[in-house]
Amino acid sequence: MLILSPSILAADFSVLGKQIKEVEAAGAQYLHIDVMDGCFVPSISFGMPVISSIRKITGMIFDVHLMIEEPERYLEEFAAAGADIITFHLEASRKPDDVIRKIHGLNKKAGVSVKPATPIMEMIPYADLMDMLLVMTVEPGFGGQSYIPESTGRIREARRIFDERGLAKDIQVDGGITADNVHVALEAGANVIVAGSAVFKGDIGRNICKMQKAFLDFKR
């Protein structure tokens, strides 16, 4: 199934609740929530208080992308705040398998993310355990960057690794995705699509409609 996960990093935070309602009404299934600690990435975004307050206004699936060092320190808190999927960076943890098990112990789905310079092969030891692989298609830290073209081969490699092992896992892509280039990621094997600027800049309903049309064109 193809899933759209709008990233609230690109939202207008003065009207965050209203914009989330618009995204939900337009039919997006996930809500992508970027947590940055100013350490794993240079920027700082927001944390648990924001997540628990938006949890009260929507039933969307909360797809929480942790760009933080030692994510194992905060898993319980993100689960309690309302995360449904918790994705952490392979580069940020010394024992990724323990982190995945801990997320599963909290009854949440576990995603593992790789930065553009991390060889895809490094996810192989965890391929079976994870629910989703997030292939970063820009350097994590900021919205509004351009899709890195080398990402396409990396998505393809990840899909091949899963297929060879008979694993039907989700592959998420994040960064620089638009209605005009999303087909490239879909063709390579991605099925969970994050979009920040392409959803929140301009008319949200119209933007989501364009993205859904691109999904349909791909399926044809």
Measured from the CB atom, the residue of 128 and 131 that comes closer to Zn ion is 131
> Which residue is at the shortest CB distance from ligand DX5?
196
Which of ligand DX5, Zn ion, none does residue 47 bind to, with CB < 5 to 8 Å depending on kind? none
**Piece in contact with ligand DX5 (CB under 6 A), picked from 47-55, 86-94, 142-150, 209-217:** 142-150
Give which of 61, 39, 36 is closest to 131, Cα–Cα: 61
Contact between 197 and ligand DX5 by CB under 6 A: the answer reads: yes
Interacting positions 175-194 with ligand DX5 (CB under 6 A): 175-177, 194
SS3 readout for 123-183 = HHHHCCCCCEEEEECCCCCCCCCCCCCCHHHHHHHHHHHHHHCCCCCEEEEECCCCCCCHH
Whether 12 is a known active-site residue: answer: no
**Piece in contact with Zn ion (CB under 5 A), picked from 70-78, 115-123, 157-165, 171-179:** 171-179
- The encoded tokens of residue 128 equal 């079976």
**Piece in contact with ligand DX5 (CB under 6 A), picked from 7-15, 68-76, 104-112, 211-219:** 7-15
Give which of 51, 5, 49 is closest to 26, Cα–Cα: 5
Alpha helices in the chain (DSSP H): 16-25, 48-55, 75-81, 96-105, 151-164, 182-188, 197-200, 204-219
Which of ligand DX5, Zn ion, none does residue 75 bind to, with CB < 5 to 8 Å depending on kind? none
Give which of 70, 149, 156, 68 is closest to 116, Cα–Cα: 149
Rule CB under 6 A: choose which of 96, 111, 143, 189 binds ligand DX5.
Answer: 143
Rule CB under 6 A: choose which of 7, 87, 152, 172 binds ligand DX5.
Answer: 7
The number of residues making up the chain comes to 220
Whether 97 is a known active-site residue: answer: no
- Residue identified by tokens 């899909």 is 159
* Contact set with Zn ion (CB under 5 A): 34, 65, 174
* Contact set with ligand DX5 (CB under 6 A): 7, 9-10, 32, 34, 65, 138, 140-145, 174-177, 194-198
Give me the active site residues, please: 34, 174
